[in-house]
Structure 1
Amino acid sequence: MSRTGWTSYPLGRKTGTVTTSLVRTRYGTLDDVRATVALHERCSADALTRRFHAPVTRVPERLATQLLAPARGWSVVAEQNGVVVALASVGPVSPHEVEIGVVVEDAQQGRGIGTRLLREVAADAGRRGYRSLLCLTQPDNDTVLRTIERAGLAFDEHVTDGVLTVVMPLSAHARREHPGLPRPA
């Protein structure tokens, strides 16, 4: 995989993943602030640094609020037995592109939860009319690329100034036909 220039990966690469049938996903709400703080408390320093691109030791309620209700964006939480175990935050960077950030608590990593969140956000973003997803990460974060591959999304990657930029084009079919997640009551 080239990290010196744009590299494209077509849709349909190996996409196996672990089942997540015991996990429920839904839109995040401000009622999830304390659960989001608790989620981040269950994450290692490495997981928090990878998510926020800086050494973060804790996520205060104010930041949890911004992650759950980003300006002009939305969030999706994954729950297991009523406990929030993962969060995807989505915010527009242009009228055609949204940026996604995902965190999965350490004990739940490797079970397909991040992949499921990415798939659901991609479908929902397409339904909302966005043409691509953007993800910024560290160049050595191969977990992000494996998650994108398992989600079945095509992507282009490029490293600039020490940041790996991954762009995932969304299909026109997904933009027209995906019903999205159920809205919170």
Structure 2
Amino acid sequence: MTVDLAGTLVVRRTDVTDQDAIARMLAGMSDQNLYHRFQTPIGSPPRPALVRHLASPDGAAWVAERDDRIVGHAMWAWVRGAARPTAEFAVIVAESDQGRGLGERLLREATEHAAKVGAAQFLVIVSAANGAVLRTVRRHWPTATTEREGSLINFTLPAPARGRGVRGC
């Protein structure tokens, strides 16, 4: 668990009891923010199967809480069928907490964990319209391989050697 200096923000691993709070966070977000994260409509309220997956993915997930309210979520999941062990990452931050480095903080937790458990590379799939995430990936991983698929950009990022920490975020 990580607490900021003001003591108001807590970043921690998720569990199944977070499902309702994750659903509330998503229900309070703009359609644009949700589309940047999911690249598809998710329903309002979000579908229960989606929320269950966010709380307990095939990998790991974290939430950021401020004043007993979830304001951010990050996760990674194994990419099935990849030639090398690959972890796919996703992050979403409530509009009220964007622009403060929270997305990068959550991404750092997720990338460090995935590298520690054996991911050889990372995958981040980003909408070409999501300037904030595009800038983050390009700033922290300038050597990332990119592939365009319609309105999406797939970044393949090198994972650090185990135990060496994650550069960038």
Give the shorter-chain TM-score range.
Answer: 0.7 to 0.9
The yes-or-no answer on 1:43 pairing with 2:32 is no
Cα displacement (A) at 1:124: 0.9
**1:124-139 residue pairs with structure 2 within 5 A?**
124-139=113-128
State how far apart, in whole Å, the 2-side matches of 1:23 and 1:75 are: 17
Q: 1:118 to 1:153 in 2, by over 3 A?
A: farther
Could you list the structure 1 runs, at least 4 aligned residues long, displaced by more than 6 angstroms after superposition: none
State how far apart, in whole Å, the 2-side matches of 1:153 and 1:162 are: 21
Cα displacement (A) at 1:127: 0.6
For structure 1, which runs of at least 5 residues remain unmatched after alignment? 1-19, 179-185
The share of aligned pairs that are identical, in percent, is 28
- Residue in structure 1 matched with residue 49 of structure 2 by the alignment: 62
8 Å contact 2:128–2:134 — kept in the other structure? no
- Residue in structure 1 matched with residue 71 of structure 2 by the alignment: 85
Amino acid aligned to 2:156: V
8 Å contact 1:45–1:57 — kept in the other structure? no
Q: What root-mean-square deviation, in Å, do the aligned CA atoms of Structure 1 and Structure 2 show? A: 1.9
The yes-or-no answer on 1:24 pairing with 2:13 is no
Amino acid aligned to 1:156: T
TM-score by length of 1: 0.76
- Residue in structure 2 matched with residue 168 of structure 1 by the alignment: 157
- Residue in structure 1 matched with residue 102 of structure 2 by the alignment: 113
2:163 aligns to what SS in structure 1?
helix
State how far apart, in whole Å, the 2-side matches of 1:45 and 1:35 are: 18
- Residue in structure 2 matched with residue 123 of structure 1 by the alignment: 112
- Residue in structure 2 matched with residue 3 of structure 1 by the alignment: none
TM-score by length of 2: 0.82
Q: How many positions carry a matched residue from both structures?
A: 155
**1:96-111 residue pairs with structure 2 within 5 A?**
96-111=85-100
State how far apart, in whole Å, the 1-side matches of 2:70 and 2:85 are: 29
Amino acid aligned to 1:131: A
Q: 1:136 to 1:176 in 2, by over 3 A?
A: same
Cα displacement (A) at 1:164: 0.5
Cα displacement (A) at 1:177: 4.9
Larger CA deviation: 54-63 vs 159-168? 54-63
Q: Which has the higher contact order (CA 8 A, sep 6+)?
A: 1
For structure 2, which runs of at least 5 residues remain unmatched after alignment? none
Amino acid aligned to 1:102: V
Cα displacement (A) at 1:88: 0.9
Cα displacement (A) at 1:89: 2.1
State how far apart, in whole Å, the 1-side matches of 2:125 and 2:76 are: 12
State how far apart, in whole Å, the 2-side matches of 1:171 and 1:63 are: 30
Instruction: Give a deviation string over 1:12-31, Cα, whole Å, max 9, x none.
Output: xxxxxxxx644221111001
